[in-house]
Amino acid sequence: MTRLTELQLRFAAADFLSFREVAPGFIVIDVATPFSKASVALQGAHLMTWQPKGHKPVIWLSKAAKFAPGKSIRGGVPICWPWFGPHATESSYPGHGFARTIPWLLLEAHRLPDRRVRLVFEPQLDETCRSQWPHPSSVRYTITLGQELVASLATTNTGDATFTLGQALHTYFAVGDVRRIEIAGLEGCPYLDKVDGGKRKKQKGRVTIAGELNRIYLDTAGCCGIIDPAWQRTLLITSTGSRSTVVWNPGKENAARMGDFGPKGEDRMVCVETANAADDVITLAPGETHRMTAQYRVIKHGG
């Protein structure tokens, strides 16, 4: 029995789900609710798309995205875990951790009483993962889909020693024109400017994007908004269990070098990431659980 057939049989009663294989060994779950539609790859438990009814897509997925086992997807919501950026001591380990490129298991799929849909995933760690992350731990990723989207990543230290955890929901948001947007809620925050050698700076006014931008905002308050005049909406991002916010756009030259952004893809997206990174990593004692949650919703202008 193929993996696709096994999933179709196991979740046959869940009429809000369907499964498809978009490339050999690469399975995608399509989810339909009365409020929105979404797609999630089993690799990385990677939310690829989410679009509430009556709105343009909220999550950006590159038209040139590649789907292959072990390769990261350009767009959607990659999970960076259990470290953010390069590994602290081993440069050969994958940037942003291994979670986004390994298989995850769909543990549960439920329709809630209010007709939202909840999916629960668990990573399938192999020996390579365990050698790179030797800390006994349990991970659950929960996605709740409705008129709003809620994504929650919970890590439990199941061992006897304290460890340090870095993580992010590396969310690519769709925008009408990145050069016209403003990001509110980060005013006055200190940040590390990765484009300028990691220098520590302080945000003045709202964040705007005129080219390559890569910043880790520290000690953030857990609420910010992407104000998008081209599409006449604000994307409201609220979070808990997150002490930093990453804002990223590769700019034209970097996007062209990457090869999977598509024509002018960088003009139609911005990453605003709910994170624990740099100075704001998490120290998790034995038996402790840390839960990082992000909620996304659309506010129409003039509506």
- CATH number reported for the structural domain that contains residue 100 in this entry: 2.70.98.10
pLDDT for 302 equals: 87
3-state secondary structure 55-106: CCCCECECCCCCCCCCCCCCECECEECCCCCCCCCCCCCCCCCCHHHCEEEE
Residues 110, 170, 182, 301: which is the catalytic one? Answer: 170
Confidence of residue 1 (pLDDT cuts 50, 70, 90): confident
Only one residue has tokens 């590769």, namely 250
Q: How far is CA 82 from CA 120, 128, 143, 288, 295, in A?
A: 18, 14, 19, 15, 21
What is the average per-residue pLDDT within 198-221?
A: 97
pLDDT in tens, 122-138: 999 999 999 999 999 99
Q: Do the Cβ atoms of 118 and 142 come closer than 8 Å?
A: yes
Residue 303: is its pLDDT beyond 70?
Answer: no
Q: What is the chain's Cα-based Rg?
A: 19
Active site residue 273: yes
Average pLDDT score over the chain: 97
Round to whole Å and give the CA distance between 271 and 159. Answer: 33
Burial of 115 (0-12, 13-18, 19+ CB in 10 A): exposed
pLDDT for 221 equals: 83
If one counts the domains in the chain, the total is 1
pLDDT for 301 equals: 96
pLDDT for 115 equals: 97
Round to whole Å and give the CA distance between 294 and 276. Answer: 12
Domain of 279, in residue numbers: 3-300
Residue 270: is its pLDDT beyond 80?
Answer: yes
Round to whole Å and give the CA distance between 71 and 48. Answer: 14
Residues 273, 288, 290, 301: which is the catalytic one? Answer: 273
pLDDT in tens, 67-79: 999 999 999 999 9
Active site residue 135: no
What is the average per-residue pLDDT within 81-100?
A: 96
User: 115: which DSSP letter?
Assistant: S
pLDDT for 132 equals: 98
Residue 144 DSSP SS3: strand
Q: What is the H or E stretch that residue 289 is in?
A: strand 289-300
Angle at 222 between CA 113 and CA 289, to 5 degrees: 65
Q: Do the Cβ atoms of 188 and 202 come closer than 8 Å?
A: yes
What is the average per-residue pLDDT within 180-201?
A: 98
% of the chain exceeding 90 in pLDDT: 98
